[in-house]
């Protein structure tokens, strides 16, 4: 198993924000972290990346305790894609992607031909080769997200951690981004992706970790986790989960808030 979390707990020094979370994901998986704001998704990412300490449990990357890996070794195994990135200088997209190669050469080296080849290959994998010579600051939100994913791929890491990658994108770009995520998974990457939308794990995920108040509310396949009962318990509203087919016969799962009849109070599982 490429990534294993075993009873992981941790926070920022004033008590645990993440509490006893266990899950796993392998090559080709899309593990979606779902839950409301403040449920601990970003904190869990920081624990996985080693940027804040564990107070309990273990994180294994390809069978190795991540605390025993050097920063360079960790960077060669796992890459982080943030929601937002605003560079100070007007780098080209190729320059931004090449920054992902930093763990492969020393601070005194310059990128070599092999590094440029890796950058172009990464842009190819996200269907963004035409952006290579454009200024990163001139890109749309969706194009920037593709460039950041390409930068992560350029690290040669097999685990890509995406913190709400579609949060600032319009609806069309959200769908294009999910297509890129599915394609990367089909190439053997392990994708760990947080999202506010329960429809994303239902339509794109292979495994789902649903969180509430820092704890694990459910973990399993989308069919097991994305249920009306779990959604109500985590989000606090009644929801129906419906699977429909589009005009081409592809299935899609839709999560719909339920409007209670007039005069009837909403029920709660809490």
pLDDT in tens, 65-107: 999 999 889 988 999 998 766 666 789 999 999 998 887 766 5
What average pLDDT score do residues 106-131 get?
Answer: 86
Q: Are strands 190-195 and 159-162 parallel, antiparallel or unpaired?
A: parallel
User: Phi/psi class of residue 209: alpha, beta or left (left: φ > 0; alpha: ψ in -120 to 50)?
Assistant: beta
Cβ atoms of 123 and 184 within 8 Å: the answer is no
Position 33 scores a pLDDT of: 96
Phi-psi region of 238 (alpha: psi -120 to 50; beta: other; left: phi over 0): beta
pTM for this structure? 0.89
Q: Residue 194 burial (CB < 10 Å; 0-12/13-18/19+)? A: buried
Does the pLDDT at position 141 exceed 80? yes
Assess contact for 20 and 57: CB atoms under 8 A: yes
Q: What is the mean pLDDT of the chain?
A: 90
The pLDDT value given to residue 169? 84
Lowest average pLDDT, out of 35-39, 102-106, 202-206, goes to: 102-106
> Which range (7-21, 181-195, 248-262) has the least confidence?
248-262
What pLDDT is attached to residue 168? Answer: 78
Give 98: exposed, middle or buried? Use CB within 10 Å, 0-12, 13-18, 19+. buried
Give the mean pLDDT of 191-197: 92
Residue 22 CA to residue 24 CA, distance in Å, equals 7
pLDDT of residue 166: 84
Confidence band for 270, pLDDT divided at 50, 70 and 90: very low
Coil/strand/helix, residue 95: helix
The greatest distance separating any two alpha carbons of the chain, rounded to the nearest whole angstrom, comes to: 71
More confident residue, 237 or 110: 237
According to the model, what pLDDT value does residue 128 have? 93
Question: Residue 73: helix, strand or coil by DSSP?
Answer: helix
Into which CATH architecture does domain 3-77+157-257 fall? 3-Layer(aba) Sandwich (3.40)
pLDDT at 103: 75
pLDDT (mean) for 125-138: 94
Q: Are the C-beta atoms of 75 and 100 separated by less than 8 Å?
A: no
Q: What is the pLDDT of residues 235-262, one digit of tens each?
A: 999 999 999 999 999 888 999 999 877 7
Question: How many angstroms separate the CA atoms of 249 and 3, rounded?
Answer: 34
pLDDT above 90 for 269: no
d(CA 234, CA 170): 25
Other Cβ atoms within 10 Å of 13 Cβ, number? 8
- Alpha-carbon torsion 130, 131, 134, 139, what sign? positive
Domain boundaries, the chain: 3-77+157-257
């Amino acid at each position: 198993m490429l990534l294993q979390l075993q009873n992981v707990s941790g926070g920022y020094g004033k008590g645990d924000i993440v509490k006893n979370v266990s899950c796993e994901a392998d090559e080709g998986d899309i593990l979606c972290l779902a839950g409301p704001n403040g449920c601990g998704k970003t904190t869990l990412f920081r624990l996985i990346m080693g940027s804040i300490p564990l107070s309990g449990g273990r994180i294994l990357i390809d069978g190795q305790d991540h605390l025993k890996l050097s920063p360079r070794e960790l960077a060669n195994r796992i890459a982080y894609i943030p929601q937002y990135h605003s560079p100070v200088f007007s780098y080209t997209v190729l320059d931004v992607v090449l920054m992902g190669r930093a763990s492969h050469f020393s601070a005194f080296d310059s990128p070599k031909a092999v590094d440029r080849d890796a950058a172009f290959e990464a842009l190819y994998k996200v269907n963004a080769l035409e952006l290579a010579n454009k200024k990163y600051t001139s890109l749309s939100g969706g194009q920037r997200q593709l460039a950041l994913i390409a930068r992560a791929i350029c690290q040669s890491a097999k685990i890509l951690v995406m913190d709400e990658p579609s949060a600032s994108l319009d609806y069309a770009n959200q769908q294009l981004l999910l297509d890129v995520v599915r394609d990367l998974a089909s190439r053997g990457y392990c994708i760990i992706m947080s999202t506010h939308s329960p429809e994303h794990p239902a339509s794109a995920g292979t495994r789902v970790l649903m969180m509430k108040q820092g704890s694990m509310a459910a973990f399993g396949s989308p069919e097991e986790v994305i249920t009306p009962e779990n959604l109500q318990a985590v989000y606090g509203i009644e929801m129906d989960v419906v699977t429909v087919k589009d005009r081409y016969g592809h299935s899609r799962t839709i999560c719909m808030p339920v409007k209670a009849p007039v005069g009837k109070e909403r029920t709660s599982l809490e």
